[in-house]
Chain A
């Protein structure tokens, strides 16, 4: 047997850490995972990462040369027969076991399930590893979220609640925290930039596709026309109008259209509209339908900007260091999965969208139509000019110059920035328009703050991201109402903490777990009933005050994931969970007080007559 390779590092030797990550979601999620893995590998050079991906979305993982191994899940091969000739699932088990065998045999130190789905939780349970994070299966075959960040993912992100920590930051923090707990402190000098034009370095080395169509002396703007879902796709007539005006306003720029085969019709129609209106289409290079992963990433890397809806392209541009101008439509939440890094822009319609309010994927989203092409062009002009850098004019003024005031207030433009660590770190999106803060945005800020307190252990001062002018009267009214509900919630949770403390003491006093006196059993049962009642009260409170929904969801996830072999261990876990909820609600309370303090009337000092006019 070979002895483990020891990697020298600053005079020390560090044993390799064998880590397997399951990423069975789409390409965008894979690229975000790669960004998190690369950051961790820089801090822990001894980290050996193997990634499990779906065949259809494997390109990005195969294009980097710093993963140890890529395991491809052959979905079609494994479950195809169940669709094609109704093969019973039992007959497919041997083939799946054969695929799984080499993965399960390896001695993994760390397994992270970053897929956050039911299917992946079974796979994560099947692979032995010293430590596991993410969704797993419990002994009773129910889904379990094995760590704090996974519980947050399940209760908040996957429930579609508002929060402001980017998925890439969640994945990175989850991985780094696990490494720190189980494998010690990272390299002191490991925080190099993750993004690079050569992120997909394997492609650069093994390039086979000719790139002659690219004239490198030109200034290129890459445009991703389609998206994975119709609700996230900008209408053809908007693209046509935008491109028509773009070509006349930006005479020195060339455009490369990007997209897969399914977007060929879309590209043909847009080009046909442009030709009909005599636009200079010779400045457009269409690679739609002919783009493989290599040409796609190469085109994005060569472009100054990528303009795109919510697609994997925005994540590819983020890792390649190309600036992104993101047209945000439909149910996408830019806080969770927007372009990552400094200086990207996101534009979103402010006009109410029925389908968005109903959280519907099926209905046609009005926000696609109301995202006006002239607004988008004005915003792009503003973002790409030095106006915003020098802060000589605001976005609203730029909009006035371009399109007149009728389009004002119809969109919000956001700019991304990486916060300094003293402000909490991670990416954040700052609104460049003077639109007031909505209740949802306020809740997102408070929820993000709470998560950083729960899982990072420290937070920036309360309310740093809120300014007085952002607090509109509607929000202030809602916050006053919310404050009252928070006080009720705190009473419930204080009682829950007291009750679970007593519950924990009772359990600790038991001499034998399975055998107890009838009095002990009755006392424990009474406490359990009381805690159930308090859970019900919290749930009802959160139903009447939707801004507190995070607490009801978190409570359910935490209580489902109480673990321990003995009653005493479970009771300790319950106590810790109620304390966690109480600490979180106290943060919400501080946020509400801090915001309401900002709008309190302030006495204006006026000069008294006797001060102003001294008597002679």
Chain B
């Protein structure tokens, strides 16, 4: 069986920075997720 290269190549074409509004939203989500991880315990990973 040949491996499906399309499935392995990853997400292509994300070299441009997303718009400032989305950047802000993503950072907020990132910080919230970090806080949630910390609350659950960093050791649980």
Q: Known interface pairs A79-B35, A141-B29, A181-B9. Does A457 touch B17 (Cβ–Cβ under 8 Å)?
A: no
Of the stretches A89-97, A430-438, A608-616, the one at the interface is A89-97
List the B residue with the shortest CB-CB distance to A116: B45
Q: Known interface pairs A128-B14, A129-B14, A130-B13. Does A93 touch B34 (Cβ–Cβ under 8 Å)?
A: no
B-side contacts of A26, CB under 8 Å: 42-43, 45
> Is A123 among interface residues, defined by CB-CB distance under 8 A?
yes
Contact of A137 among B1, B7, B26, B43 (CB under 8 A): B26
**A93 and B28 contact, CB distance less than 8 A:** yes
**B27 and A97 contact, CB distance less than 8 A:** yes
A-side contacts of B36, CB under 8 Å: 118-119
Q: Which of A91-136 contact B (CB under 8 A)?
A: 92-93, 96-97, 100, 104, 107-108, 117-119, 122-123, 125-126, 128-133, 136
**B3 and A454 contact, CB distance less than 8 A:** yes
**B29 and A122 contact, CB distance less than 8 A:** yes
**B12 and A131 contact, CB distance less than 8 A:** yes
Q: Known interface pairs A89-B28, A96-B31, A119-B30. Does A107 touch B15 (Cβ–Cβ under 8 Å)?
A: yes
**B10 and A119 contact, CB distance less than 8 A:** no
Q: Known interface pairs A79-B35, A93-B28, A457-B2. Does A149 touch B43 (Cβ–Cβ under 8 Å)?
A: no
> Is A552 among interface residues, defined by CB-CB distance under 8 A?
no
Q: Known interface pairs A131-B11, A133-B10, A178-B10. Does A79 touch B34 (Cβ–Cβ under 8 Å)?
A: yes
A160 to B3, CA, bound (A): 25
**A118 and B27 contact, CB distance less than 8 A:** no
List the B residue with the shortest CB-CB distance to A174: B8
Where chain B touches its partner, the secondary structure class is helix
A interface, size bucket? 35 or more
A-side contacts of B18, CB under 8 Å: 125-126
B-side contacts of A457, CB under 8 Å: 1-3
B-side contacts of A228, CB under 8 Å: 43
Q: Known interface pairs A89-B28, A126-B30. Does A576 touch B6 (Cβ–Cβ under 8 Å)?
A: yes
**A126 and B15 contact, CB distance less than 8 A:** no
Contact of B9 among A97, A129, A141, A178 (CB under 8 A): A178
Q: How far is the CB of B21 from chain A (nearest CB, A)?
A: 12
A83 to B39, CA, bound (A): 9
**B27 and A130 contact, CB distance less than 8 A:** no
**B14 and A100 contact, CB distance less than 8 A:** no
A177 to B5, CA, bound (A): 9
A-side contacts of B12, CB under 8 Å: 130-131
> Is A182 among interface residues, defined by CB-CB distance under 8 A?
yes
Q: Known interface pairs A126-B26, A457-B2. Does A147 touch B45 (Cβ–Cβ under 8 Å)?
A: no
**B16 and A128 contact, CB distance less than 8 A:** yes
**B26 and A122 contact, CB distance less than 8 A:** yes
Q: Known interface pairs A26-B45, A132-B14, A361-B44. Does A147 touch B7 (Cβ–Cβ under 8 Å)?
A: yes
Contact of A90 among B3, B4, B5, B28 (CB under 8 A): B28
Q: How far is the CB of A156 from chain B (nearest CB, A)?
A: 15
Q: Known interface pairs A177-B8, A361-B44. Does A78 touch B31 (Cβ–Cβ under 8 Å)?
A: yes
B-side contacts of A82, CB under 8 Å: 31, 35
**A453 and B1 contact, CB distance less than 8 A:** yes
Q: Which of A514-571 contact B (CB under 8 A)?
A: none
Contact of A100 among B5, B27, B28, B42 (CB under 8 A): B27
Q: Which of A444-474 contact B (CB under 8 A)?
A: 453-459
> Is A146 among interface residues, defined by CB-CB distance under 8 A?
yes
**A104 and B17 contact, CB distance less than 8 A:** yes
List the A residue with the shortest CB-CB distance to B7: A148
A-side contacts of B27, CB under 8 Å: 93, 96-97, 100, 122, 126
> Is A245 among interface residues, defined by CB-CB distance under 8 A?
no
B-side contacts of A104, CB under 8 Å: 17
Q: Which of A572-607 contact B (CB under 8 A)?
A: 576, 580, 583
Q: Known interface pairs A56-B42, A119-B33, A132-B14. Does A93 touch B24 (Cβ–Cβ under 8 Å)?
A: yes
A83 to B38, CA, bound (A): 10
Q: Known interface pairs A148-B4, A457-B3, A583-B1. Does A131 touch B10 (Cβ–Cβ under 8 Å)?
A: yes
A457 to B4, CA, bound (A): 8
Q: How far is the CB of B27 from chain A (nearest CB, A)?
A: 5
> Is A202 among interface residues, defined by CB-CB distance under 8 A?
no
A455 to B38, CA, bound (A): 34
Q: How far is the CB of B19 from chain A (nearest CB, A)?
A: 12
> Is A498 among interface residues, defined by CB-CB distance under 8 A?
no
> Could you list 11 examples of A-B contacts with CB < 8 Å?
A78-B31, A79-B35, A89-B31, A92-B31, A97-B27, A118-B36, A119-B36, A137-B29, A181-B8, A454-B3, A457-B1
Taking A132-B10, A576-B4 as given, write out 18 further A-B residue pairs in contact, using a Cβ cutoff of 8 Å, ordered by the A residue number. A79-B35, A83-B35, A96-B30, A97-B23, A126-B27, A128-B17, A129-B14, A132-B14, A133-B10, A144-B11, A147-B8, A177-B8, A181-B9, A229-B43, A454-B3, A455-B3, A457-B3, A458-B1
**Which A residues have a C-beta under 8 Å from some C-beta of B?**
25-26, 54, 56, 75, 78-79, 82-83, 89-90, 92-93, 96-97, 100, 104, 107-108, 117-119, 122-123, 125-126, 128-133, 136-137, 141, 144, 146-149, 151, 174, 177-178, 181-182, 228-229, 361, 453-459, 576, 580, 583
**Which B residues have a C-beta under 8 Å from some C-beta of A?**
1-18, 23-38, 42-45
Q: Which 3 residue pairs of A and B lie closest in terms of their CB atoms, listed nearest first?
A: A457-B3, A119-B33, A122-B30
